[in-house]
Amino acid sequence: MPAVHKLLLEEALQDSPQTRSLLSVFEEDAGTLTDYTNQLLQSMQRVYGAQSEMGLATEQLSRQLLEYEKQNFALGKGDEEVISTLQQFAKTVVELNTLHSELASQMADRMIFPMIQFREKDLTEISTLREVFGIASDEHEAAMVKYSRLPKKKENEKVKAELVGEVAYSRRKQHQASMQYYCALNALQYRKRVAMLEPMLGYTQAQIHFYKKGMDLVSKKMDSFLVSVSSMTQSIQAQLDSEAEAMRVTQRELLSMEDTVYMPDRDPVPVNRTLIQKAGYLNIRNKTGLVTTAWDRLYFFTQGGNLMCQPRGAVAGGMVLDLDNSSVMAVECEDRRYCFQITSPSGKTSMTLQAESKKEYEEWICTLNNISRQIYLTDNPEAVAIRLNQTAIQAVTPITSFERRGEGSPNPDRAKPGGVQSSISASQKSSSTPEPEDLIVPGTPIQFDIMLPASEFQDQNRVGGRRTNPFGETDDDCSPESDDSLLQQVFAVRFLGSMAVRSGQTQEVIYEAMRQVLAARAIHNIFRTTESHLMVTSSCLRLIDPRTQVTRISFQLQEVTQFAAHQENGRLMGFVVEGRDWSEGTEEGEPSFSAFVFESNTEGEKICYTISLGKDIIEAKKDPEALAQLMKNMPLTNDGKFLLLDSETGDTANGGAADEEESEA
């Protein structure tokens, strides 16, 4: 090793400027060494801190690896091999943690401690001796100043002796301090080399010891284990590459489709009317205030007989409505398209939904109607839905205009009201439930619009012409001028359809007519209806246009042979009217029957009760005493009419505009 620079102790007493200049060089070197030592120690402490943190981190890592088994992964089935591998890794990490902790301890003893000792012992000693040397030099300079001021003429031996002693003492003190200071600076030139090498020697030896133990651990205990883990990861990576390539191919195929796939209301797939399950996004109308509403887009799906809803981010859906025996109708909602309404059998709960496209709109209505019939409870609901759809298509021919009822009918005579002769008399009926063919001839056409346009009625009223009813009846007997009935009740209804039937003496024919009318509307997408007012009096039934107050059709109450409300959907009701068929040429004509089906805003039983009361009044009129007894038992209004129910029609009864609605069919 090359020689080091020294301060000569012999020159300490003389304290020449050359010696002072050389001393300043040694002091500068010591200051630089002190700064560097602090920075080096800081770096070593950072390494030690990182190694200590490594020990803590590996300990936490081992605990976290063991926690994998306790995680409740939703898709964690089949992870047994991964769990066992991670447990083995956890054991290895624990052993590595022991090695890391040992390495951190060795770093503290063999790297950090020597450097701290060098800084606190050697460098601090240099700093202290420098201060002592500075004080001694100042005292010597002060003593020399006093001694130099001794007077030349008046010498005082006593003062001179004191000053000489003081100079000698301060010079000796400075000499001793300077020699100690010089010795420390000279020794520092050797100690700094040892101080720089010893910590790094300890650090390197600790690392070598750590790596040797780590190699022993890995080579002796983990060679076969690491080979198996490597093979497993390569196999998984190969599966991932294969799956990624398959997904890329699928993605290219899906992206190569036409843009119509992304466009709403452009679905080329035909409507499926035999579904018993449906899922998709719908907009639901929610009431936000007294008169304000808001639409929310939610995911709806059917489950059994329930309509379910699942908001975004929700884990599972919740039931919104029980669909059994509920009614589904298309409606007009503000300025939105494809809206429909679901109403519970009681009529107390309803909701309005909007579909994205016409296809979704029709499929939702058909699916909900299929579910409301409880088809899903059968053994093979899909087959039942297909069979009902095919049967309804074969058995029902929809006619959207009364003037074309005879076109396409297997028997044109059946197109006329009353044109079907009853083939089964009351005496020939069996006690069992009649078959549908015994009630309605298969292929009988259905009429869906019972009224003419309102403008045509207005034109007839302006010219004073007499309106001819499309069914051939006249309203002479039921005109408001001649109506002196005691009963007058108005109901808001929507006409669904009418058809000729074979019998008018049983309620089963009404139920069968309801089934065929609703099936025909669902199959042929005829949802729209127009609201009318059904006025029940003690002499007749009148269907009134709420906008013009013109009677669209009327029936004598005596001609109504049967009336009934639907057994499950209480908002549906119907009645059978008896007429005469003059096509046979007989003098009195043959009896014929026609069934009319309506949907009301209230319970159909109330309408049936009112009709029954009207027929009771007709019978009571034949006997004054019976009429008086009936009037005595029933509450009357101020004008002498029977008081039954509050008006359901609201302002529309006074000529208000009736909005077109769409029915559940």
Sheet holding 350-354, edge to edge: 318-322, 306-310, 293-303, 279-287, 350-354, 336-343, 327-333
Where residue 604 falls among pLDDT bands split at 50, 70, 90?
confident
Q: Which of 157-166, 346-355, 430-439, 443-452 has the lowest mean pLDDT?
A: 430-439
* Domain limits, CATH 2.30.29.30, in the chain: 279-378, 446-450+484-582+589-633
CA distances from 250 to 239, 261, 268, 269 (A): 16, 16, 22, 21
Q: Which two tokens stand for residue 81?
A: 């091999």
Architecture of the CATH domain 17-220: Up-down Bundle (1.20)
Q: How far apart are the first and last CA of the chain?
A: 109
* Domain limits, CATH 1.20.1270.60, in the chain: 17-220
Where residue 43 falls among pLDDT bands split at 50, 70, 90?
very high
Q: What percent of the chain has pLDDT over 90?
A: 17
Three-state DSSP at 383 gives helix
| Average pLDDT of span 630-637 | 61
| Average pLDDT of span 50-64 | 90
Dist CA 248 CA 226 (whole Å): 32
Q: Say how many CA atoms lie within 13 Å of 160 toward its Cβ.
A: 8
Three-state DSSP at 247 gives helix
Dist CA 473 CA 645 (whole Å): 29
| Average pLDDT of span 110-136 | 90
Q: 446-450+484-582+589-633, which class in CATH?
A: mainly beta
Residue 638 has pLDDT above 60, yes or no: no
Where residue 451 falls among pLDDT bands split at 50, 70, 90?
very low
Which of 519, 518, 546 lies closest to 534, judged by CA? 546
Architecture of the CATH domain 279-378: Roll (2.30)
Residue 301 in contact with residue 308, Cβ under 8 Å? Answer: yes
| Average pLDDT of span 380-399 | 62
Dist CA 188 CA 361 (whole Å): 95
Q: Which of 397-411, 545-559, 586-600 has the lowest mean pLDDT?
A: 397-411
Burial 495-532 (b: 16+ CB within 10 A, else e): bbbbbbbbbbbbebbbbbbbbbbbbbbbbbbbbbbbbb
At 332-359, the pLDDT tens digits run 877 788 899 998 887 778 889 999 888 8
- At which residue do the structure tokens 């013009």 appear? 548
Dist CA 503 CA 551 (whole Å): 27
Dist CA 368 CA 301 (whole Å): 10
Q: Is the pTM of this model over 0.85?
A: no
- At which residue do the structure tokens 């490594």 appear? 54
